[in-house]
Amino acid sequence: MKTPWMTDRWFTSPHNFNEEVRAQLKFAKKITFHDITLRDGEQQTGVVFTKDDKIRIAEKLAEAGVHRIEAGMPTVSKADEAAIKEIVKRKLGPKIFAFSRCMVADIQRAVDCGVEGVVVEIPSSEHIIELGYEWPLQKAIDLSVEATQYAHKQGLYVVFFPIDATRAELGWFLNLIDHVATHGHMDALVLVDTFGGSSPHAISYFTKQVQARVRKPLEAHFHDDFGMAVANTLMALTLGVEVAHVTVSSLGERAGNCALEDLALALLTLYGIDTGLRPQTFTELSRLVQKLAGVTLPPNRPIVGEMLYKIESGIIATWLARLKDKRPVELFPFHWSLVGQAPAEIVLGKGSGRDSILYFLSHLGYTVGPTDPRVDEILVRVKERSLATKSLLTTDEFRTVVEGVLGRTATPSPARGT
């Protein structure tokens, strides 16, 4: 592809593909998406997924091309355990993992669910171990060794998940990892920013320090408390981290996790990396999760926001009218069809301009010339109506405004009416 930054589906900055920029990137040959919506996503306050909810979401995640699904934590409830077992049974395509505490009994529950892998958690910062868990430090070490050994002996792929890793004293943390890798078992290690308190540059430093000491595949699990989860995950991936932990639309504990949609589309359009995910499913997937979780997203949410492709601003509406059927990616970094959104459309509100009025008049079949002063009067009334209602105008409201200016006898042409 001669211009990977500009295709018929997206138009991003050519600087993304500058040789000097690309020389800094050390992506793994394959990047794996490990979705944690069914576990960490459900930890968002007030979110409850039933067994059927989890199955429906897992099916949609499989349709989206997700590589691994963390289906839940069997010890949370019998319903969670049943959901994991059913998801495994359905053989949807992605590898199915469970999440467990560093306890043999937890690992056995995961084994009983039939999963391929297990993410094994343990507190890794001394202050959390001593203050949050009120454990002696040695207990965390001993439990980690025992549980990971047991999981390995049961044939599971063992992902070691040290909670609060980015706030742990680095020497203590690396010694813990070394000890577990040597005396327990670890197929992969997760870089965990539990409280989202790292900058991208700090993630770069932390990742390199771990890579210098630990010879294991690395995974990234970053929270979004400072809005850095996607940026931090991208930073880790550019350094060779192989697996990204994500949730649909950033659902999750407190401010949530790295958003599946944002990360996948950034990799595709900003870095030219096709992970195999199907972005055309993203909007439908997000709306399903929103519905089942009982949450709403800001209308301008990246990728899936319901207002992303509704254009009110006068000048942009003018451009859209001219370019929608020619090259709409001049106006949007990615085409609506790429992410499963409805086509872009012009809407009427306080920010509208004359061209928006002319567009709607023509669209509805009214014959009013561009120099007709009544266009300006209609525009004024549209703005007044929007200001009064603090909302966009419906088609019927616009017709009422038009009739108020042109007269009740002004009706649109039947051939062009809607």
Q: Do residues 281 and 248 lie in contact, with contact meaning Cβ atoms separated by under 8 Å?
A: no
Element (H, E) at 203: helix 200-213
The structure tokens listed for 386 are: 């929007």
Average pLDDT of the chain is 94
Instruction: Could you please state the CATH topology (level 3) that the domain comprising 19-293 is classified under.
Output: TIM Barrel (3.20.20)
pLDDT digits (tens, 9 = 90+) for 322-367: 878 888 899 899 999 999 999 999 999 999 999 999 999 988 989 8
Q: Do residues 263 and 269 lie in contact, with contact meaning Cβ atoms separated by under 8 Å?
A: no
SS3 189: strand
* pLDDT of residue 418 exceeding 60: no
pLDDT digits (tens, 9 = 90+) for 159-179: 999 999 999 999 989 999 999
The per-residue pLDDT for 18 is 96
Region of residue 187 (left: phi > 0; alpha: psi -120 to 50; beta: else): alpha
The per-residue pLDDT for 319 is 86
Using the structure block, give the residue that is written with the tokens 């070394």: 178
The residue among 271 and 406 whose pLDDT is bigger is 271
Within 13 Å of residue 105, how many CA atoms lie on the same side as its CB?
2
Element (H, E) at 162: strand 157-163
The per-residue pLDDT for 414 is 55
pLDDT digits (tens, 9 = 90+) for 188-231: 999 999 999 999 999 999 999 999 999 999 999 999 999 999 99
Q: Where are the beta strands (DSSP E) in 250-329?
A: 310-311
- Provide φ and ψ at 147, rounded to 5°: -70, -45
Q: Name the burial class of residue 153, with classes exposed (0-12), middle (13-18) and buried (19+) by CB atoms within 10 angstroms of its CB.
A: exposed
**Pick from 212, 207, 128: nearest CA to 168:** 128
Q: Do residues 202 and 168 lie in contact, with contact meaning Cβ atoms separated by under 8 Å?
A: no
The per-residue pLDDT for 177 is 92
* pLDDT of residue 410 exceeding 70: no
The residue among 316 and 186 whose pLDDT is bigger is 186
Sign of the C-alpha dihedral computed for residues 171, 175, 181 and 186 taken in this order:
negative
pTM for this model (two decimals): 0.93
Q: What's the average model confidence in pLDDT over 304-323?
A: 89
Query: What's the CA angle centered on 293, arms 292 and 297, to 5 degrees?
Result: 110
* Length of the chain measured in residues: 418
Q: Name the burial class of residue 8, with classes exposed (0-12), middle (13-18) and buried (19+) by CB atoms within 10 angstroms of its CB.
A: exposed
Q: Where in the chain is the domain with CATH 3.20.20.70?
A: 19-293
Q: What's the average model confidence in pLDDT over 245-249?
A: 98
CA–CA gap between residue 193 and residue 171 (Å, rounded) = 17
Report, in angstroms and rounded to the nearest whole number, the Rg of the chain calculated over CA atoms: 26
The per-residue pLDDT for 411 is 63
pLDDT digits (tens, 9 = 90+) for 96-150: 999 999 999 999 999 999 999 999 998 877 887 788 777 778 888 888 899 999 9
CA–CA gap between residue 105 and residue 152 (Å, rounded) = 14
CA–CA gap between residue 224 and residue 178 (Å, rounded) = 28
The per-residue pLDDT for 202 is 98
Q: What's the average model confidence in pLDDT over 50-60?
A: 98
